[in-house]
Each structure stands twice: as C-alpha cells, then as structure tokens.
Structure 1
Amino acid sequence: MHGFRGSNSGPPLISEPDRVGRVAMAINGMGVFVWDLESGVMRYDDVGLSVMGIRPHEWDGRLDTLGTRMVQSELPAVRARVDRAVRERTSFSLYFRVRLRDGSLRWTHTQGNVISDGEGRAVRVVGVIRDASQELLAVDQTEEVRRARGDRRRQAAIVGHLSDALAPTLTVGDVTRAVTSTRLLEQLGAATVALALSEGGRVVMVGSNGTAEEWIRNLHLARSTELLPFSEVIRTRKPVFITSRAEFAARYPGLRAFLDRMPDATAAAYLPLVAQGSAIGALGLSYNGKTCFTSDERTVLSAVSSAIAQSLQRALLYDKEHELAAGLQEVMLPASTPRMAGTEVTTRYCPAHSRGDIGGDWYDTIPLPDGRIIAVVGDVQGHDVTAAAVMGQLRVALRAYAGEGHPPASIMARTSAFLTELDTERFATCVLALIDPRTGLTVSVRAGHPEPVLRRPDGSVTRLDVPGGLPLGLDGPSGLPVYPEAVNVLEPGSTLLLCTDGLIETRTADLDQGAALLLDALRTGPERSGPLADHLLDTMGAYTGQEDDVALLLLRRTADGPATGRQFTATLVRTDPDALHCARHRLRSALHDWSMDPLGDIAELLACELATNALLHTGGDATLTAGPVGPGGRALRLTVADGSSACPRRRAAPEGATSGHGLVLVEELATAWGVTPCGTGKYVWCEIALPPG
C-alpha cells in the first residue's frame, strides 16, 4: 500500500494500525487525504488520486491544481463550505464533480474533519473521498421515477377534471363551456382551445377560450375537404401534432399569413372527435414555448378527445330533442295576444335555465263575442316532447269549451275529463279567469295551481282567495271533479297576475318565501304590464335561478276602458214581424249615445243582414248585440247569436236575385267578420271602424 502523495517531508502521518483501516477503505473505493492548513499542501493516497482521476506523478499537492480538475461553476460553493468548516472547526460533507482525462465528469463525495492544536487553532483537515457516480445515478433514477409518477398523477387529474366537468352537461353549449374553461387550459398547458362541429360537410366552430378568436374563426370555418387543420383531422379521423411554426407553414401553406397573429405559438394539437365511428367534430389546442409532445401527452390528449366526443354526441342528441320540443312549444302557444278594449294583456314564456328543457307550461287569452275575455295559465307534468304535445291538445280543448259558452267551472271540468280520456298518464294544473272589461267582474277557478295575484290601483297586492280543485286529469270521488268559482272585481288600473309555479319555486327554499318575494316584486314593479312582466322575470329569476319553466300572464284593466252599460242587446223573435224594425231603431239611438252616428247607415244595414240570415236559415230566434270595441272605443262590433251550429256560406247571387247578397255586403263593408261556435249554436260577428277624425 502506497503512502500519501504530494510531499516527501515531515514525519509519517499514518501508523501501522492505521494501515489496516486504509486497506479496508481502499477495498471499498474510498481514499484518504490530509490537508496541512499552514503550508497549504494537500496529500492524497493512491485511491484518493484515482477517485480524482489524477496519476500519482501528476499530483503536486497544490490546491490550484485541484481546482483545475473541478467544474468551475461548482468551485465557489465548495470553497465557501470548506472555509466555513475551518472557521468553525467542524466537519463538512459535500458533493462535487471532477473532469476525467477523457473529458467525462465524475461525481465525488468528500467528508472532512478539522483538527485543532492545543491552543484551539485549526492546523489540518483529515478526510475521505469516494466515487459517488453510482449513488447519484440511483438518485437520478429515483427522481425520474418520481417525475413519471407525478406526470401520471397530473394526467389522471386532467382526465378526472374533464370527466367531472362533462358529467352534468346536457347541451352543446354546456360541453363547450366545460371544454374551453380556464382550468382545463391550465392543466393541459395550452394557450388557446377551439371546439368545432362537422355540419353538412362544413367545419363550424362552436366555441373557443376567446384568445385570438378571430384567427381561430377564420382558420376553421371551411369545408371539410379543404387543406386546413380541423378539416384534415375530421376527414382522416387521425390526430395532427405540430411542433414548430415552420412545420405548420409547410403543412398548411394557405395559413402562413395567420401565423403572424399568434407570434408566441410554437406547437399545436388537432384531435378528431370520433363517436360511434363517425367524426362529429374536432378539438384544437395551441401552445406557447412547447417543442414536442411525449407519448404520454399524446395518450392523454387522445383520452381527452374521446371523453369530449362522447359528451358532445350526447349533447347533439339532446339538442335535437330540445329543438323538436321547442318547435312544438312555439306552435302550441298563441302566436299573438288579442287586443281587447279596456284591457292591457302581456304574456311571457321562459324555458328553464338549468336544463334548457321545454315543458308543458302555457298561457292563453280567449276573447268572447260578448266582449269578455278568458285568461288561462297552465302547466302539464313533465319536461319533454310529450308534455309539450299534451299542452297543445289541452289548450285547444279548453279554448273550444270556452268558445261554446260554458261557465269557468264547467270549462275546467270538461278539460279535466278530456285529459283523462287522452290516457297519457299525465296530469296538469291550471288557473282560469273570466274578466268583463266593462265592469271588472272576474270569475276565477283553479285546478291545483297557484292562486291569482291582484295589484290594486293604490299599489297594494294580495293573493285572491280562489278555492282549489283537483289537477286536470285526476278523477274526483263522484265522476267529474268540482271546481268552485270565486268572484272578484278588478277596479280600473288593477293588474291581475296568473303564473306557473316556476316563477316562485326553488329546490333550496320554502314555497312561501318565493310567494312573499313575488308579492313584493309585484308591489314595487312598473305600472304598465309589459315592463312589469320583465321586472318580475328578472327579480324572481335571480331568486329561483329559473330551475323550472315559467309562463305568466298579466292583465291590466285600463282606466279608459269602455264604461259600464255601453252595450246594446235586442232579442229577435222569429214569429214577431216588428222585432227587427224595433231593433234597428234602438241601434240608431245607441249609436247616437255613443257618438258613433257616422256608422248609422252601415251598422243598420249589416245588423239587418246578419239578423235576417239567422232568422231565415236557422229556424229559431236570434240575439243582436252591439257595442264599442278597440282602442278608444272607435270601432263598433255587431254580433248575432243563434241556436244553430251550421255556419253561414257566402253564395254568388245571380243577377236579379233577391237573396244571397248578405255575406257579400258584410265582406265589403265590415273591417273584419267571423263565426265563433258557442255551445250548440254560434256567434256571427263583424266590426266597423269609425272614419279618421
């Protein structure tokens, strides 16, 4: 065993017993060094020099020579650590690299102990040095395993977060919001995201995160046959990974000009969204600073695209069903609200926000020939196409029963029986009010529905006490259910509100709380029915989150409506030859009282034609009714009621004929005319407008 190298002077530093320990250390690849602090000479044994990669004849004991062997960037930290140990007369342990003769680097581990003399001065450092390459290689491998496990956890977190975000989605809009969320972008490390659908051979973008949206829109709105990223992955159903701007420009030369709009983008991934073997869309991601995609990253992106495709296909099917239900709902609801003298009517329908479903909520206003109006709001059980279809059938049936002239309780009972006969296993709730704009007299019935709410002219509000009956479609204990009627009077300036429970009901609060909030919103809302309807929807929607469909109807009795008694009625007995003559004179007198004298001749002529037609062709008596209608009462409505269900027919009268001219005159002289069934009979009516001025 060789001794220390680096100096031939001085007493031996290693005794014979120490040599035994040195042999054991050498076997384990550990060398020994001694550093004389006074002379600055560093001496290594042969094993120590071998660890340092120095041949014995090359070592001169100088610290500067040792420094040339070490990595220069690590040298300051090594010196600082050793100097501190010398000052504090403690031990030290450190790792540093040395450069071998072939230029490679070797990790070494050095441990030293500072020796002091009798006066406490540090005189030398004694220590060991060993090759630590394998040790640190194992550490590096462990760290690599740790990083791999961390990457897998991160990848699992991405897929897990996306699955959680997509689980509650129903519509394409829901899926788009989940895919373009900031959190998912951060997890993927992407700068932009765009989601597109394949529709009729075209690529249509449905959402992006807003960054460079114009660039994305111009890039992807194209036919699926064009040489563009989304078009390519949809056409081939294979992903495209681009890792440089030059590669992007070479692959899609038509898009070179667009690269300048995203100067930081260095990579992109385009993924087909494939469901049941068909490409229904594509996902595009761009990255800043990225230059490659590892196999694990590609696997994760493939899993992400698969999850999005499944959710997107489900959303497309849902949207198609929703579109069908919405079409039914739109067709079944009234296209317009009739204008009735003395009333201001506003209706609203809003689907639920949380589901976007279309259900069975509906409203209707039915003008009657005698000037009264029926207001209806109802709700069929369920939120699907069946509910919308049943709603349409119910609305038509109820309108028919109302047109036949039945009282409110009978209309409700007959409609309930009609729903039972449909055998749909659905029930419905409904509230109906029959209002006379001339007197304000209101008759209300309800079938398992929230009560009407009244706002008086002084601003006070109250829920009308209307006894409730069974929901429509449920049989009572003795056949047809009974619906008690409640009578109230709407003063001029009063507003009546009919609504479905979606306006006040929420899963997180008591129903009474929503009802109280509705009363307060109605009390503080605008006077006109249109702005008031919007105010109620905004206020209550913020409270309920609009978890359910909402249908509401506001009917305001205007102060300038037709006065009480402004109506003329005459009974025409078929066997009384003077009945029609008396009715004509009474009509002239009524027109004078209403300041409608300019209509006298035309009104008398049309009244005679309608009445004569009824008396001649129905075989029974008739009733003539006349009264002002329309805004400001500037139109006259003539109505003849009879007991026959046969409708009058317009006939071409031959020259010289004494009959067949009645309906021709009505068509030519009246502003509008029509026939309304009523019970076993009908109303034939026409309207004449006052001339301007």
Structure 2
Amino acid sequence: MVDRGATPAAVPAGSVPDDWPARPERCAALNRVGTFDWDLVSGRLHLDGTALDVLGVPPGRFEGRIGDLAGRLPRADASGLDALVSRALKDGSETYGAYYRVRQADESLRWTYTQGRIRRDDQGRPFRIVGIVRDATVELEAAGPRAADPEARDTTTVVETLTAALAHARTVQDVIDFFKDSQAVQHIGCDLLVLGLVESGRIHLVAEGPEEHYIPGTRYTRIDDAFPMSEVVRTMAPRFIESREDFAASYPWLWENIEDIGISCAAYLPLIAQARPIGALGLLYRGTRGFTQQERNLFIALSSSLAQAIARAMLFDQEHDLAEGLQQAMLPRRIPDVPGAQIAVRYRAARMGRDIGGDWYDVIPLPGGRVGAVIGDVQGHDTHAAAVMGQLRIVLRAYASEGHAPATIMARASSFLHELDTDRFATCSYAEADLSTGVVQLVRAGHIDPLLRHADGTARRLPVAGGLPLGLSAEFGRLDYPVTTVELDPGETLLMFTDGLVEQPGADLDEGMQYLTGLVGEGPYDLHELADRLCDVIQERVGEDDMAVLLLRRQGSAARHGGRLQQHIAPADPEALSAGRHMIRAAVRAWGARERSDEIELVADELVTNALLHTDGAAVVTIRMLTGPERRLRVEVEDRSSALPRRREPGESGVSGRGLLLVDRLADVWGVESRGTGKSVWCEFVVPGRHELAEPEAAPDPAPDPAPDPASA
C-alpha cells in the first residue's frame, strides 16, 4: 500500500543541472522546432532563428514578408501548401498541418513540417496565424526510405501538380512549355520524360527532359516503329517496363542509347481523345522498382486528363486561328499615306479569353486635304463581335467617303447597327481633321476621351462631348451627336484608343487615364516608337480586353498660316447672310488677301446666293487658307441638293445664268464635290505670301513749283 502522505525521495545532490528543467525555447531549439507569427492584415511575418534555419533562409535576407520565402519550396510543394492554407482560412478551420520540402543552399531538398493555429475575430474572419516549423527528416526516415527520399515519386502529388498546371494551359504550346520546363521532371517526380504528339501519321517529340539526354533520330518517328511511344499509340494501351532486361529485349535500339543513363523502368501512356490517339507520354525512372496497381491506375487517370487538356488546347488553337484570321480580314490591311499627317496604328489581342474582340481602327482619306480617323469597340470577345466590327468599319468608311458631316456619320452608323438586329452595341470616336488648317471635328459615341500631345511633349486629356453608344442611341431615339472642334497645331498628336489601353480589373478609369497621360508625356517623340512603347508597357499588365490605338500627328512647321471659318446660313435669314459676308470680308483681310478681296467676296456671295435660290435647304459656307508651295484661299458652299450646277450662256437680254461664268472667270480653279445627299461647290484663289504684303516705300513729296519769274510774264 502506498503512503500518499510520504514525501518524495530526495534527489541526490549534484545530479540536477543548473538549467533544469530546460526552458521551452531551449527544448524547441535543440529539436529544431522554430516558431512563426503571421499577421494576415498587415502581411508581416515573424520567424525566429530556428525557423529561419529550418527553412534555409539566411537571416540577412529575410525582411518580414511572406514573399521573402519565394523559391525556397519546389513549385508543387508550394502550390500544395498554398491550397491547404487557403482552404483552412475559408472553411473555418482552427488548425492545419502539412509536410513539404525545402530547398537548401546546395539545392538539396529537406522535409519540413508546419503546423499553424488560425486566430479569428468575432465575425469569424481570420486575422493571424501562430505556429511552428520543424525539421521532419528524422521522423520520415523512420517511416521508410521512400517517405524520406526527396526524389521519391508521389503519384498523388504528380496528378495534383499536372492538373493544376493544365488548368492554366489554353494552347497546345502552353502544355508543351510546361513539359519543356527544366524543373518539369522534378515537379512530376520522374528522372526523364518525353512527350510526343501525333502529326500526319508520325509522332513528333515536342518535349523531353532533361534536354542533355535527347537521342538524335527520335524527333520524328513513325507509328509502326519499334519504340514504346509508337507501340502505345498503335495499341492505345499503356506500356509499363519494370526492368532493364524488359527494356533491352523489347526496344534494343532505344536501350542502347539510354543504358548509360541508368534507366531501369518506365511508364509509357497513350493520350486518347474522342476514341483516337493524339500522342503519348513517357515517364522514365532510375533505380530498381516496379509499379503497383494503384500507381498504374493513377498513371492512366493522369494520361486521360492530359489527353483531354491537349484536345481542348487543339480546339482552342483552331478556333483562335479562325477568329484571328477573321479579325485580320476585317481590319484595314494598310494605312494610306496622307499628305500632311503621320499616322501609327497598333492592335494587341487580350492576354486572356479567345484573343479576339471587336476593337478596330480606320483611316479614311477625304477630299480637300482632310482625313477621317476612327477608333471603336464592339461589345464582346468572339467571332460575332469581330463580324459586327467589320460591318461597322465598312459603313463608317462609306458614310465618311460620301461626304457626310461627322455627326451624321455617327447617327447613320448607329441606325445601321440597330437594324442589324444584333444584341451588340459599340462605342466609337470619329475625328475629321483638316490638315491644312489643323481644325479637327470630334464626335464621340460612348467612347473614352482621346489625348492630345503637344509639340513640347506635354500631354493632356481632351474633353469631347459625347452621345450614346452606337446601336443604343438609335434604339432610344437619341441620334443627336454633339461635335467638339479643336485645333491641331503642327507637331501635335491626337491619340485615340480603346478601353483596353487604360482599363484594368479593380482599378479606376481615371487612374488609368492619368497613368496613360504620364506615359505619353514621357514617351519617345517618334510616332511609331511611341505606339510600340504604349503596347509594350500595357501588355505587361494583366487584362481581359484587347486594345487598339491610333496616333495622328499633324506635320508642318510650327508657324501658323490662316485657319478655318464656317457660317450656317438659313433661307430667308438676312442677318445670317450678312454675318456670312462679314466673316468672308474679315478673313480675307486677316489672311493677307486684300489684293483679291473684291474677287473673293463677289464669288463667295454668288455661290451662297445660288445655293439659297436653287435649293430648298440652308447653305454652309466655309473659308480656309491652304498652305503649300503657294498660298491658296478656298471657299466652299455646301447644300443638301444633289443637282449639280450647270454653266450656260445667258443671252443678250438674259438676267440670269451669269453666276458660274463669273466664278469661272474670277477664281483660279473651281469644282463640285458630292456630299452624300448634297454637294459642295468650291473655288480657290492664289494669294500672295505674307512676305509679299509689305507696303511699298512712299515716294518723296515732289518739290514745290518755283515761284513765277516776273521777267517772264
């Protein structure tokens, strides 16, 4: 019977160390157990000295961020650990634990174990993780050699790794790039790998690793050759080689070339999609071992998943080629040379999705030294969007070439899109630039404002009044599009673009515009280099939209030569007619054409009068100065009648018919241009340059007549 009241036996003196019992910190350090504290709100991570040692991180290279550990774990282990922690944070778990490998300074891998306890607030949101990190090499060695071997093949990890990689692969090249990665064999857990795809009755070896073990003569092989990849493609059944003797007897030529590598077993898997072979995957291993039934089943599941991924990628490539060809056919093949302007255009497909969309640009040469510039974006990212884009581009070009005003062009394009009976709408901006005067008329249909870069390199956003997107304005009966007029000086550049250039998921549009404005201001002066710079910088950002950009720079000297003035004159409006005459008289004098002012005013008055008398609508008179080898003053009178004027002889007693005779005699050149439903009658006068306008020196006053000589009287 035990005497519960007896005192414990005394410990002999001198047998108790001074530091007994050991403090928790010492116990943890001796057993290579470190601690960590991760603040999820601020992102700060604390690792004690033992944890840094276990993870192989030099203390001087750790600054308290989770990103400082990047590259310490193999990709597969890092992905698995991230998935585990994310799942624990989302499902309400209080703890998690995981084994993973850590890369040491000598590139060797060491097993490590991490356990963390998740702290949550009153609403259940995680805000902190406190845990331990310890060396797991000893315990895994006790569990068996395969568990402790960093290079051992964990088939479950292989499947998870490949599944994660293939989930992000869109094209066949994406799949090939994964297997071409120098770390691919390490991710999969094998020593060598080969991937072949069936092409035109042959097997094309598209990836092998490591590359130094490539065997010449195996890049293309026939399906009936004596190779394991050919065999699994022919039979559509996996081939497991479990010994060196089996390898040598079944494939002697191949064995002679790989015998020195130390390969002893391999698994060759057919890639079958829609009941036909599309390729084969070979996984080769060193060391004597076999394949369990569970491993064989996992390998078969792996080959099935890989085959489906490649089949999807092949279909994607086919659709992409079709869509890309359609879009390239819809975009203009070349940009015309426009005298007085330098133009650069660029298009970049989206980095996600089908790489196809409805973004487009166009440049339309117009009569009278003018040019139309279009930028637009049809809703959607598919072949339907590309098809609608092509139709819109054609009708916009047609309306502009017919001579319609910018607002009319946009209204008619909106009506056309609405009549297509499609569920798509489009945003668009149209600019009509007179390169001789620099006057630019801008119309915007739900699109982003353009930018203006000055000759000194500074850039700013150009506010443009806008209407509803094309298609929507017709549906709601709001076809009025305001026109914004600006002047483009020589050396200045107009930048028109789609939203893919400035928009980014989760970011504000104004921030994107400010970033782009700064980028343009700091960019090179050369227009094509600037366009390339914009595309290169924007392409580094992750976006889901394609992008089109059009840059229009007015060329010429910085000196200003005249301008452009316009007056709308309605029938039975004497005040407007008087204002038009006053405008012409003031412009003629201001632009240094006084020597021909009577001729210009008389001809302009005749053209305006004819338009008001012989048509039912109003007239628009425009006067501008054209620069070039010689200065020319141009007068245009536009009306809505399609009937062309006709010169005729009036007769001796006729009181009419002399108008065009007068125009023909006084103007240096004249003509008529179609303006869609109307026309424009124009004439030009050569005027002297400003250096020729100096007043001649006044002649000296004549000497007074001498007084009469009385003697001569």
Scaled to the shorter chain, the TM-score interval is 0.5 to 0.7
Question: What residue is the counterpart of 1:559 in the other structure?
Answer: 556
| Pairwise CA distance, 1:179 | 5.0
| Pairwise CA distance, 1:280 | 1.6
| Pairwise CA distance, 1:355 | 3.0
Question: What residue is the counterpart of 2:300 in the other structure?
Answer: 302
Contact kept, 8 Å, 2:272 with 2:307, in 1: the verdict is yes
Q: Superposition pairs for residues 466-477 of structure 1, below 5 Å?
A: 466-475=464-473
Task: Determine which of 397, 412, 424 is the counterpart of 2:422.
Answer: 424
Worse-matched range after superposition: 294-303 or 366-375: 294-303
1:545 corresponds to 2:545: no
Distance 2:175 2:253 in 1: 30
Do the aligned partners of residues 225 and 484 (structure 1) sit closer, same or farther apart at CA in structure 2, a change above 3 Å counting?
farther
Distance 1:204 1:292 in 2: 28
| Pairwise CA distance, 1:403 | 1.1
Distance 2:377 2:194 in 1: 40
Q: Superposition pairs for residues 80-91 of structure 1, below 5 Å?
A: none
| Pairwise CA distance, 1:326 | 0.4
Do the aligned partners of residues 146 and 558 (structure 1) sit closer, same or farther apart at CA in structure 2, a change above 3 Å counting?
closer
Contact kept, 8 Å, 1:500 with 1:552, in 2: the verdict is yes
Residue identity matched to 2:493: T
Distance 1:404 1:433 in 2: 16
Q: Superposition pairs for residues 137-148 of structure 1, below 5 Å?
A: none
Q: CA RMSD in A?
A: 4.0
Q: Superposition pairs for residues 471-620 of structure 1, below 5 Å?
A: 471-475=469-473, 479-542=477-540, 544-559=541-556
Contact kept, 8 Å, 1:417 with 1:480, in 2: the verdict is no
Distance 1:187 1:144 in 2: 22
Contact kept, 8 Å, 2:264 with 2:285, in 1: the verdict is yes
Distance 1:284 1:325 in 2: 34
Q: SS of the counterpart of 1:169?
A: coil
Do the aligned partners of residues 153 and 329 (structure 1) sit closer, same or farther apart at CA in structure 2, a change above 3 Å counting?
same
Distance 1:501 1:193 in 2: 44
Q: Superposition pairs for residues 142-221 of structure 1, below 5 Å?
A: 154-178=154-178, 185-209=185-209, 211-212=211-212, 214-215=214-215, 218-221=217-220
Contact kept, 8 Å, 2:327 with 2:386, in 1: the verdict is yes
Q: SS of the counterpart of 2:218?
A: helix
| Pairwise CA distance, 1:375 | 1.0
Question: What residue is the counterpart of 1:389 in the other structure?
Answer: 387
Contact kept, 8 Å, 1:341 with 1:562, in 2: the verdict is no
Distance 2:508 2:248 in 1: 61
Worse-matched range after superposition: 183-192 or 507-516: 183-192
Q: SS of the counterpart of 2:322?
A: helix
| Pairwise CA distance, 1:167 | 2.7
Question: What residue is the counterpart of 1:240 in the other structure?
Answer: 239
Distance 1:366 1:265 in 2: 66
Distance 1:461 1:534 in 2: 17
| Pairwise CA distance, 1:461 | 0.6
| Pairwise CA distance, 1:402 | 1.0
Residue identity matched to 1:401: Y
Contact kept, 8 Å, 1:437 with 1:561, in 2: the verdict is no
Residue identity matched to 2:171: T
Encode CA deviations 1:258-299: one digit per residue, 9 max, x unaligned: 437x73444333211112211122212233335533333222
Question: What residue is the counterpart of 2:335 in the other structure?
Answer: 337
| Pairwise CA distance, 1:159 | 2.2
Distance 2:229 2:424 in 1: 46
Distance 1:190 1:548 in 2: 39
Question: What residue is the counterpart of 1:406 in the other structure?
Answer: 404
Question: What residue is the counterpart of 1:611 in the other structure?
Answer: none
Q: SS of the counterpart of 1:219?
A: coil
Distance 2:292 2:232 in 1: 20
Distance 1:269 1:220 in 2: 19
Distance 1:183 1:487 in 2: 59
Distance 1:429 1:222 in 2: 52
Question: What residue is the counterpart of 1:653 in the other structure?
Answer: none
Distance 1:343 1:409 in 2: 23
Do the aligned partners of residues 393 and 168 (structure 1) sit closer, same or farther apart at CA in structure 2, a change above 3 Å counting?
same
Encode CA deviations 1:61-116: one digit per residue, 9 max, x unaligned: xxxxxxxxxxxxxxxxxxxxxxxxxxxxxxxxxxxxxxxxxxxxxxxxxxxxxxxx
Residue identity matched to 1:443: Q
Q: Which has the larger radius of gyration?
A: 1
Do the aligned partners of residues 277 and 371 (structure 1) sit closer, same or farther apart at CA in structure 2, a change above 3 Å counting?
same
| Pairwise CA distance, 1:475 | 3.2
| Pairwise CA distance, 1:680 | 5.1
Residue identity matched to 2:488: L
Question: What residue is the counterpart of 2:226 in the other structure?
Answer: 227
Residue identity matched to 2:525: E
Distance 1:265 1:442 in 2: 73
Contact kept, 8 Å, 2:374 with 2:430, in 1: the verdict is yes
Distance 1:461 1:207 in 2: 49
Distance 1:546 1:377 in 2: 20
Residue identity matched to 2:414: S
Question: What residue is the counterpart of 1:679 in the other structure?
Answer: 676
Distance 1:299 1:454 in 2: 64
Contact kept, 8 Å, 1:504 with 1:515, in 2: the verdict is yes
Do the aligned partners of residues 191 and 256 (structure 1) sit closer, same or farther apart at CA in structure 2, a change above 3 Å counting?
closer
Distance 2:486 2:523 in 1: 22
Residue identity matched to 1:190: C
Unaligned runs of 5+ in 2: 1-141, 565-623, 631-637, 644-672, 681-713
Do the aligned partners of residues 258 and 521 (structure 1) sit closer, same or farther apart at CA in structure 2, a change above 3 Å counting?
farther
TM-score by length of 1: 0.57
Contact kept, 8 Å, 1:190 with 1:285, in 2: the verdict is yes
Distance 1:642 1:213 in 2: 80
Question: What residue is the counterpart of 2:440 in the other structure?
Answer: 442
| Pairwise CA distance, 1:562 | 12
Residue identity matched to 2:470: L
Q: Give the number of equivalent residue pairs.
A: 445
Distance 1:563 1:206 in 2: 62
TM-score by length of 2: 0.56
Distance 2:269 2:331 in 1: 43
Do the aligned partners of residues 254 and 490 (structure 1) sit closer, same or farther apart at CA in structure 2, a change above 3 Å counting?
farther
Distance 2:230 2:558 in 1: 64
Contact kept, 8 Å, 1:172 with 1:319, in 2: the verdict is yes
Distance 2:374 2:402 in 1: 16
Distance 1:348 1:211 in 2: 38
Encode CA deviations 1:13-43: one digit per residue, 9 max, x unaligned: xxxxxxxxxxxxxxxxxxxxxxxxxxxxxxx
Do the aligned partners of residues 313 and 371 (structure 1) sit closer, same or farther apart at CA in structure 2, a change above 3 Å counting?
same
Residue identity matched to 1:547: E
Contact kept, 8 Å, 1:503 with 1:546, in 2: the verdict is no
Residue identity matched to 1:156: T
Question: What residue is the counterpart of 1:137 in the other structure?
Answer: none
| Pairwise CA distance, 1:193 | 2.9
| Pairwise CA distance, 1:250 | 4.4
Q: Superposition pairs for residues 332-371 of structure 1, below 5 Å?
A: 332-371=330-369
Q: Superposition pairs for residues 23-38 of structure 1, below 5 Å?
A: none
| Pairwise CA distance, 1:240 | 2.3
Distance 1:565 1:169 in 2: 59
Q: Superposition pairs for residues 99-110 of structure 1, below 5 Å?
A: none
Do the aligned partners of residues 308 and 504 (structure 1) sit closer, same or farther apart at CA in structure 2, a change above 3 Å counting?
same
Do the aligned partners of residues 230 and 477 (structure 1) sit closer, same or farther apart at CA in structure 2, a change above 3 Å counting?
closer
Contact kept, 8 Å, 1:358 with 1:385, in 2: the verdict is yes
Q: SS of the counterpart of 1:508?
A: coil
Distance 1:334 1:164 in 2: 40
Question: What residue is the counterpart of 2:666 in the other structure?
Answer: none
Question: What residue is the counterpart of 2:281 in the other structure?
Answer: 283
